[in-house]
Amino acid sequence: MTTAAVRVRGLTREFTRRRAQPRLALDAVDLVVEEGEVHGLLGPNGAGKTTLCKILSTVLLPTSGTALVNGFDVVRETKQVRQGIGIVFGGERGLYTRLTARQNLMYWSALYQQPTRMAKAQVAELLERMGLLERADDAVETFSRGMKQRLHLARGLIGDPRTLLLDEPTVGMDPVAARDFRSLVAELRGEGRSILITTHDMAEAESVCDKVSLIDGGKVIGTESPRTIGGWMSKYERVRAQGVPDEVLARLRALPGVSEVRVENDDEVLVSVDAEGAAARVLRTLVDAGVSAVSTSRPSLEEVYLHVIGDRGLAVR
């Protein structure tokens, strides 16, 4: 068996609480992230993504099952695991906000046992790479959310880890920052690092990952290629229109691939599709009928899951 960056087998985590039913956050999860791979873990909030990241980063113990990171067991060989990973937990927390970006990174460098001189050089390099050099000596509490997220990323790269665990790293980022982040992930892959990235954003999963595992209710539903994810997004696209005459509504309902035509708020119509190319047919019909107030939107992850799991006859494994 070759050493994968992450190898998880039968991983289960149950949270027990006083006077409440135990909650199963992970249910016999199997997952492999090969070396040098960017692997997405795509799932809605509460699916178990963060729980998995916490177990892989050794801050949470599993109830049962095994997890190896860079070949080391996350329960028995925590020191070796910690030496080889970088973690980015998403959100605003996790930084000493009253300190400067540089002070934060210098402390984290000490925690990664970097000699001071080396740490200074690496911190400066990371700040520059993340575009934070000009604000390096400002308190983190004055940073925008996107800047804080970039600082989180810089922190994750301290110690030059082989494997990166990125838990919702683009939460709160504006579209430009999110695009820059995607370029950074590509760069990190180019450096030979393995990356496990959790997200509930299908577009993100499609654009940065080599493989995407779908997770929901603590179970991995399956692993797909990013191309398949992209296909789902277009397949289950939604079209909104205003001022659609009744006879056009009837024509829309008759189009192949249209699963639902719903009139909302008196004048607004929502058309759902479930076949490749159906959205284009709906748009053409509307435009030909002289309807100009038209927009398309991507389906939510929950909607896609409903379609996908439904199509598979709830073949959850």
Partner 1 sequence: MIGLFLAAMRFQAQVVRREPDYLMSLVTIPLLTVAFLAIMGNAGRADLAPYAVMGAALMTIWATALFVSGELIDADRWEGTLEGVLAAPAPYQVAYLGRIATVTMISFLGLVESALIAWLVFGVTFPVPHAGLLVLTLACTAFSMVGTASIMAPLFVLARSARIFQNSLSYPFYLLGGTVVPVVLLPEWLRPVSNAIFLSWASDLLRDCLRAEEPVAAPARLGVIVGLGVLGFGIGHLLTRAVFKRVRENGSVGFA
Q: Does 188 bind partner 1 (CB under 8 A)?
A: no
- Candidates 3, 96, 142, 315; binder of partner 1 (CB under 8 A) is 96
Q: Does 171 bind partner 1 (CB under 8 A)?
A: no
- Candidates 19, 76, 93, 227; binder of partner 1 (CB under 8 A) is 93
Q: Does 200 bind partner 1 (CB under 8 A)?
A: no
Q: How far is the CB of 227 from partner 1 (least distance, A)?
A: 33
Tell me the C-alpha distance between 68 and 30, whole Å: 11
Q: Does 85 bind partner 1 (CB under 8 A)?
A: yes
Within 103-122, which residues bind partner 1 (CB under 8 A)? 103, 106-113, 115-116
Residues 6+ apart with CB under 8 A from 313: none
Q: Does 97 bind partner 1 (CB under 8 A)?
A: yes
Stretch that binds partner 1, among 27-35, 82-90, 221-229, 307-315 (CB under 8 A): 82-90
Q: Does 83 bind partner 1 (CB under 8 A)?
A: yes
- Candidates 94, 172, 243, 257; binder of partner 1 (CB under 8 A) is 94
Stretch that binds partner 1, among 77-85, 180-188, 225-233, 277-285 (CB under 8 A): 77-85
| Cβ-based nearer residue to partner 1, 103 or 296 | 103
Q: Does 250 bind partner 1 (CB under 8 A)?
A: no
Q: How far is the CB of 77 from partner 1 (least distance, A)?
A: 12
Q: HEC states along the chain?
A: CCCCCEEEEEEEEEECCCCCCCEEEEEEEEEEECCCCEEEEECCCCCCHHHHHHHHCCCCCCCEEEEEECCEECCCCHHHHHHCEEEEECCCCCCCCCCEHHHHHHHHHHHCCCCHHHHHHHHHHHHHHCCCHHHCCCEHHHCCHHHHHHHHHHHHHCCCCCEEEEECCCCCCCHHHHHHHHHHHHHHHHCCCEEEEEECCHHHHHHHCCEEEEEECCEEEEEECHHHHHHHHHHCCEEEEECCCHHHHHHHHHCCCEEEEEEECCCEEEEEECCCCHHHHHHHHHHHCCCCCEEEECCCHHHHHHHHHHHCCCCCC
| Cβ-based nearer residue to partner 1, 87 or 147 | 87
Tell me the C-alpha distance between 203 and 226, whole Å: 9
| Cβ-based nearer residue to partner 1, 148 or 219 | 148
Within 39-58, which residues bind partner 1 (CB under 8 A)? 51, 54, 57-58
Provide the binding-site residues for partner 1, judged by CB under 8 A. Answer: 13, 15-16, 51, 54, 57-61, 79, 82-83, 85, 87, 89, 91, 93-99, 103, 106-113, 115-116, 139, 155, 159
